[in-house]
């Protein structure tokens, strides 16, 4: 007999619609942004552009020569513009699905399903927010930075990468008025030990009301420790392999700590955004 995990649902945040749509979009451009990442820009209909920062899409990737991707690939939203009809994804070529994406040329069709999941929130008392992320996790936070700018929030973005030239979204964050700090592995500035005093200095100056993160377990643990020590809340966009992306298959179930309990939630449906304090 098969035992399925008990799923504890969370309410849909006010203002977010659980509806999604399927659409075939046309590729506008698909270009490298550095030695590892590519930016895919799509001409998309309004039906899939009712998006919120932190949500994602399921992409029906084309099959590269000799390979046959079976499932759609989940991809966080890098940018969206309903008025211009644009939808953007920043991705790293890592497997059959993303190798297929890299073959797309302007004018090619791409079938997308979304927007999916629950996105970031930004309560009124979070006036000074800090983004701390690494690699493609910074792409997930790009729409959040735009939302912070539009709401008049003060923003600090710590961008971590293996090398300084691989740090993502630096110019974009700066265009939203953020204080941008680039840290990387080559000089050791990206370690939790190096980041802790940097972040604590800004906490002491009352420049951090909330943390947002994505893409690194080490950064998550650091922010959990700092959040607990200084009473600072925050949110994380979780990364997880998915199948359906709709909550039916339960392939993306993860454990979360809520008070004294360990509960199970689906990253695609109850997330992908969760309170930092609850993530394991």
Q: Give the number of other Cβ atoms within 10 Å of residue 258's Cβ.
A: 13
The annotation status of 190 as a binding-site residue, yes or no, is: no
Q: What token pair was written down for 272?
A: 């992908």
Q: How far apart are CA 48 and CA 38, in angstroms?
A: 22
Q: Roughly how many angstroms between the first and final C-alpha of the chain, as a whole number?
A: 28
The annotation status of 74 as a binding-site residue, yes or no, is: yes
Print burial letters for 21-53: b (CB count within 10 Å at least 16), e (below 16): eebebebbebeeeeebbbbbbbebeeebbbbbb
The annotation status of 249 as a binding-site residue, yes or no, is: yes
The annotation status of 97 as a binding-site residue, yes or no, is: yes
Collapsing DSSP states into helix, strand and coil, what is residue 57? strand
The annotation status of 25 as a binding-site residue, yes or no, is: no
Q: How far apart are CA 44 and CA 134, in angstroms?
A: 28
The annotation status of 268 as a binding-site residue, yes or no, is: yes
The annotation status of 76 as a binding-site residue, yes or no, is: yes
Do residues 75 and 91 touch, judged by C-beta distance below 8 A?
yes
Collapsing DSSP states into helix, strand and coil, what is residue 209? coil
Select from 95, 106, 88, 44 the least CA-distant residue to 73: 95
The annotation status of 115 as a binding-site residue, yes or no, is: no
* E strand residue ranges, 94-248: 109-116, 128-134, 154-161, 179-184, 210-214, 234-237
Residues flagged as binding site: 73-76, 97-98, 244, 249, 252, 268
Residues flagged as binding site for FAD: 73-76, 97-98
Residues flagged as binding site for [2Fe-2S] cluster: 244, 249, 252, 268
């Amino acid at each position: 007999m098969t035992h399925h995990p008990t799923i504890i649902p969370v309410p849909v945040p006010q203002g977010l619609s659980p509806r999604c749509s399927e659409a075939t979009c046309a590729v506008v451009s698909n270009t490298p942004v550095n030695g590892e990442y590519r930016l895919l820009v799509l001409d998309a209909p309004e039906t899939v552009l009712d998006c919120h920062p932190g949500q994602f899409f399921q992409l029906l990737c084309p099959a590269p020569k000799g390979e046959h991707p079976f499932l759609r690939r989940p991809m966080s939203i890098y940018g969206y513009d309903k008025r211009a009809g644009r939808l953007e994804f920043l991705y790293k070529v890592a497997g059959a699905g993303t190798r297929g994406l890299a073959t797309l040329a302007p004018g090619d069709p791409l079938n997308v399903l979304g927007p999916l999941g629950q996105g970031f929130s930004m309560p009124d008392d979070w006036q000074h927010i800090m983004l701390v992320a690494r690699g493609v996790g910074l792409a997930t936070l790009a729409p959040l930075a735009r939302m912070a700018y539009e709401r008049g929030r003060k923003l600090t973005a710590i961008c971590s990468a293996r090398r300084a030239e691989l740090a993502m979204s630096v110019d974009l964050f700066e265009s939203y008025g953020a204080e941008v700090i680039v840290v990387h592995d080559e000089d050791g500035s990206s370690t939790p030990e190096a980041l802790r005093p940097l972040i604590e200095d800004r906490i002491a100056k009352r420049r951090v009301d909330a943390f947002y993160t994505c893409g690194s377990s080490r950064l998550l643990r650091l922010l959990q420790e700092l959040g607990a020590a200084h009473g600072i809340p925050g949110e994380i966009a979780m990364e997880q392999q998915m199948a359906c992306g709709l909550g039916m298959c339960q392939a993306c179930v993860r454990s979360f700590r809520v008070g004294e309990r360990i509960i199970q939630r689906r990253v695609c449906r109850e997330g992908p955004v969760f309170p930092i304090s609850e993530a394991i």
